[in-house]
Amino acid sequence: MSNHESHENHVTGYGVYLLVWLGLLMLTGITVAVAGIDFGRITITVALLIAAIKSWLVLTIFMHLKFEDTTFKIFVFVAVITFVVFIVLLFADYLFM
Amino acid sequence: MANGTLYMPETEPNYLDYRGRFKGILGWILSTDHKRIGLLYLYSMGLFLTVGIFFGFMMRLELIAPGKVIIEPQTYNSFFTLHGIIMIFLFIIPGLPAVFGNFFLPILIGAKDVAFPRINLLSWWLFAIGGGLAITSVFLPGGPADTGWTFYVPYSIRSTTNVLPAAFAAFILGFSSILTGINFVTTIHRLRAPGMDWFKMPLFIWSLYATAWIQVLATPIIGITLLLVAVERLFGIGLFDPALGGDPVLFQHLFWIYSHPAVYIMILPAMGVISEIIPVFARRTIFGYSFIAFSSLAIAFFGSLVWAHHMFTAGMSDTGRFVFSLLTFLVAIPSAIKVFNWIATLYKGSIQLAPPMLYALGFIFLFSIGGLTGLMQGALSINIHIHDTSFIVGHFHYVMFGGTGFGIFAALHYWLPKMYGRMYNEKRAKVGFWVLITGFNLLYFPMLVMGWLGMPRRYYDYLPEFHVYHFISTIGSWILITGLLIMAVNLILGVRRGAKATDNPWGGETLEWRIQTPPTHENFHEIPVITGGPYEYKINENGQEEKKYEEVT
């Protein structure tokens, strides 16, 4: 299987993992820090944005999505889009309450 | 159409006789054969269905007259909760994908098994454990849950009954569903036989594919939501309970983000079964193959975006209600595409009213009533009038039981001869059908009427003017159960003592009819090469069809 071979070609070094981990910790810190600030209507947007960046890091680096073939990327893309649509529709209600 | 030696008669044992690593019961509950796992699901679901019917029967009996008849109000609350949880999570959601999807998906695409046979077995084990826990929760101290299957907060936070075990059971069952979904998506992508491109797949596979995506994408949301309810109950963290600063409407949103698409997890595979049966018994190729295929995906997509129509009276914003009402109307389009295509397939067909076909036609009739009453509720003004009345109960039983239930029965009558190699009595099957559909309409149609007149759902007692409807409905439940018994006894007798079934009793063209009956352990001697579509009925040189079902008279 070609994608198995490509796995072996892409060994990520510990340094990268460590950096990503530190990045995730930093973003968590930012989430906690900004939680106390009232951004009004965009509070949730800010929180979701940070969470999205964190998920993207985990998916691409830790879960190796970066090195997978296109089918898997499309699958994950579909899942992400579905999730975004759910949230947008949820706020079609909440924003106008 | 397929080429290749699909099976070598009498040289390989069928899957029922096959001796693997384990014998006896272990040979079943530890088997990774998709066909045996399908039957495991069938047997466990049969058991859960019986329990669910018992609760439904008792509720109807209680409602035969105003005031107390046989059970106390608290027992009644528990019964409708358990009826809902069992029927939805243990019968109708796994129903077609887990039994017939497992059994026939690999065969229909020309594969020897699903992509992950061990995960497949794991999903049955999770199903059995979740089901066991749901039933056990009835007998644990604290008493059976009484929240309704929807676990609405804040009541589910405050009820002293066994809400947590029941919710945890649903959580485990969710994992079973997700694993099945992942397995099916992968199988359909990776294991199709050479030559079987996407548009040569039987339509049942398209519907399973659409269903599997909903299972994978939507089920985690109910899992996490129920987990949040547990967190709130156990640690008093204010998420949904207004008394703790939470938002109960948020729970309803999260709950229905899964639970409405779940309706399509239930109905889509049934539509797939109907798309398989109609061409075989109308002796015509399906009308509008690609429209039916894509309408499955469209239903899965739009069906995932309409959840808040369950909450129009829950305090949503006007904009929210408008958006979700509009989206609800949109789902009707792909659903109607299917119904019109089936009817167009029947048009000028050579229709044979064999038992599977009767159930398929019953499906179209009942699903149309269920679907159209659903559209009525999509309209905001009507929805507010009939919200939480028995009109809703009537509507979703028409869709869930009249649709999915009849789809399951159609599949049973269609595929049982292939699964067990024996034929049931067709006459008795037809009698069972007519009794069943009569009882069905007597049971559920009065619910539509009295709901319209204002009878609330879930009520233990009612005003005298509703008595006649409740009375007819309860009588209908007895007729319906009689029909179910006739069907069950007939099928069980058929499996045990029925005449030997031929390889292709109905004259079908899809792959399952070209292999041994019952299938061998690995389904195919050689993986077939697919050369044509699934519903091409050939005419021989005498101007007659090569294979045709002959009705037993």
The predicted pLDDT at position B248 comes to 94
* Predicted confidence (pLDDT) at residue B60 exceeds the cutoff of 70: yes
Closest Cα partner for B508 from B354, B292, B338, B348?
A: B354
* ipTM, 2 dp: 0.84
List CB contacts (< 8 A) between B259 and chain A: none
Q: B61 forms bridges with which residues in the sheet?
A: none
Map tokens 């009956």 to a residue. B517
d(Cα B216, Cα B382) in Å, to the nearest integer?
33
d(Cα B524, Cα B287) in Å, to the nearest integer?
29
Token pair listed for B533: 């579509």
Please answer yes or no on whether A93 and B318 come within 8 Å at the CB atom.
no
Q: How confident is the model at residue A5 (pLDDT cuts 50, 70, 90)?
A: very low
The predicted pLDDT at position A2 comes to 44
- Of B205-219, B443-457, B527-541, which range is least confident? B527-541
Using only C-alpha atoms, chain A has a radius of gyration, in whole angstroms, of 17
* Predicted confidence (pLDDT) at residue B288 exceeds the cutoff of 80: yes
d(Cα B216, Cα B210) in Å, to the nearest integer?
10
Q: Residue A30's domain spans which residues?
A: 2-94
Q: What is the mean pLDDT of chain B?
A: 93
Closest Cα partner for B264 from B316, B322, B334?
A: B334
Interface of A to B at Cβ within 8 Å reads 71, 75, 78-79, 82, 85-86, 89-90, 92-97
Q: Is residue B92 part of a domain?
A: yes
Q: Are B337 and B349 in contact (CB under 8 A)?
A: no
**B542 or B507: which carries more pLDDT confidence?**
B507
Q: Are B316 and B268 in contact (CB under 8 A)?
A: no
Best of A55, A86, A87, A88 to mutate (most B CBs within 10 Å, chain B):
A86
DSSP per position, B77-121: HHHHHHHHHIIIIIIITTHHIIIIIHHHHHHHTT-SS-S-HHHHH
The predicted pLDDT at position B469 comes to 98
List CB contacts (< 8 A) between A85 and chain B: 304-305
List CB contacts (< 8 A) between A69 and chain B: none
Strands B499-500 and B422-423, how do they pair? antiparallel
* Predicted confidence (pLDDT) at residue A1 exceeds the cutoff of 60: no
The predicted pLDDT at position B4 comes to 62
Please answer yes or no on whether B217 and A71 come within 8 Å at the CB atom.
no
Q: Are B327 and B378 in contact (CB under 8 A)?
A: no
- B222–chain A Cβ distance below 8 A for any pair: no
Q: Is residue B26 part of a domain?
A: no
* Predicted confidence (pLDDT) at residue B539 exceeds the cutoff of 80: no
d(Cα B401, Cα B534) in Å, to the nearest integer?
28
Q: How far is B242 from chain A (nearest CA, A)?
A: 16
Please answer yes or no on whether A93 and B317 come within 8 Å at the CB atom.
yes
DSSP per position, B262-315: HHHHHHHHHHHHHHHHHHHHHTSPPTTHHHHHHHHHHHHHHHTT-GGGG-TTSS
The count of structural domains within chain B is 1
Q: Is A36 helix (H, G, I), strand (E, B) or coil?
A: coil
Among positive and negative, which fits the CA dihedral B160, B161, B165, B169? negative
Asked if the bond preceding B154 is cis, omega within 30° of 0, the reply is: yes
Beta-strand (E) ranges in A12-92? none
Using only C-alpha atoms, chain B has a radius of gyration, in whole angstroms, of 23
Q: Is residue B396 part of a domain?
A: yes
Token pair listed for B204: 């049942």
d(Cα B436, Cα B442) in Å, to the nearest integer?
10
Summary count for chain B: helices (H), strands (E):
18, 4
Please answer yes or no on whether B320 and A71 come within 8 Å at the CB atom.
no
Best of B184, B198, B257 to mutate (most A CBs within 10 Å, chain A):
B257
Closest Cα partner for B223 from B246, B254, B184?
A: B254
Q: How far is B329 from chain A (nearest CA, A)?
A: 16
Angle ∠(B475,B494,B205) on CA atoms, nearest 5: 85
List CB contacts (< 8 A) between A80 and chain B: none
Among positive and negative, which fits the CA dihedral A26, A28, A29, A35? positive
List CB contacts (< 8 A) between A2 and chain B: none
Q: B2 forms bridges with which residues in the sheet?
A: B530
Map tokens 């049942």 to a residue. B204
The predicted pLDDT at position A9 comes to 61
List CB contacts (< 8 A) between B319 and chain A: 92-93, 95-96
Closest Cα partner for B91 from B135, B45, B128, B60?
A: B45
The predicted pLDDT at position B545 comes to 63
The predicted pLDDT at position A12 comes to 77
Q: Is residue B10 part of a domain?
A: no
The predicted pLDDT at position B549 comes to 58
Q: Is residue B551 part of a domain?
A: no
* Predicted confidence (pLDDT) at residue B548 exceeds the cutoff of 80: no
Please answer yes or no on whether B317 and A78 come within 8 Å at the CB atom.
no
Closest Cα partner for B212 from B233, B188, B246?
A: B188
- Averaged over B300-324, what is the pLDDT? 93
List CB contacts (< 8 A) between A82 and chain B: 217, 304
- Averaged over B127-137, what is the pLDDT? 93
- B216–chain A Cβ distance below 8 A for any pair: yes
Q: HSE (CB half, 13 Å, CA atoms) of B283?
A: 18
Q: How far is B105 from chain A (nearest CA, A)?
A: 21
Q: Are B511 and B528 in contact (CB under 8 A)?
A: yes
Q: Is residue B5 part of a domain?
A: no
Residue of chain B minimizing CA distance to A94:
B317
Q: What is the mean pLDDT of chain A?
A: 85
Tens digit of each residue's pLDDT (9 = 90 or more) over A65-93: 988 889 889 999 998 999 899 999 999 89
Domain CATH number, residue B103? 1.20.210.10
Closest Cα partner for B508 from B270, B202, B294, B293?
A: B202
Q: How far is A27 from chain B (nearest CA, A)?
A: 23
- From residue B81, give the alpha-carbon distance in Å to each of B56, B123, B135, B172, B277: 10, 24, 12, 18, 34
d(Cα B143, Cα B123) in Å, to the nearest integer?
28
Amino acid at B8: M
Q: How far is A14 from chain B (nearest CA, A)?
A: 31
Q: Is B337 helix (H, G, I), strand (E, B) or coil?
A: helix
Q: How confident is the model at residue B86 (pLDDT cuts 50, 70, 90)?
A: very high
Q: How confident is the model at residue B553 (pLDDT cuts 50, 70, 90)?
A: very low
The minimal CB distance from A93 to the residues B304, B305, B320 is found for: B320
| Phi, then psi, of B2 in degrees rounded to 5 | -150, 150
Token pair listed for B94: 């796994």
d(Cα B161, Cα B425) in Å, to the nearest integer?
46
Percentage of chain B with pLDDT > 90? 87
d(Cα B229, Cα B164) in Å, to the nearest integer?
8
Q: Are B350 and B283 in contact (CB under 8 A)?
A: yes
Please answer yes or no on whether B189 and A78 come within 8 Å at the CB atom.
no
Token pair listed for A93: 């209600």
Q: Is residue B539 part of a domain?
A: no
The predicted pLDDT at position B13 comes to 85
How many beta-carbon pairs under 8 angstroms link A with B? 44
- Averaged over B448-458, what is the pLDDT? 97
Q: HSE (CB half, 13 Å, CA atoms) of B280?
A: 30
- B305–chain A Cβ distance below 8 A for any pair: yes
Q: Are B457 and B444 in contact (CB under 8 A)?
A: no
Map tokens 């709950």 to a residue. B255
- Averaged over B433-437, what is the pLDDT? 98
The count of structural domains within chain A is 1
Residue of chain B minimizing CA distance to A1:
B190
List CB contacts (< 8 A) between A94 and chain B: 317, 320
Map tokens 């690609």 to a residue. B290
Q: Is residue B218 part of a domain?
A: yes
Closest Cα partner for B2 from B446, B530, B540, B366?
A: B530
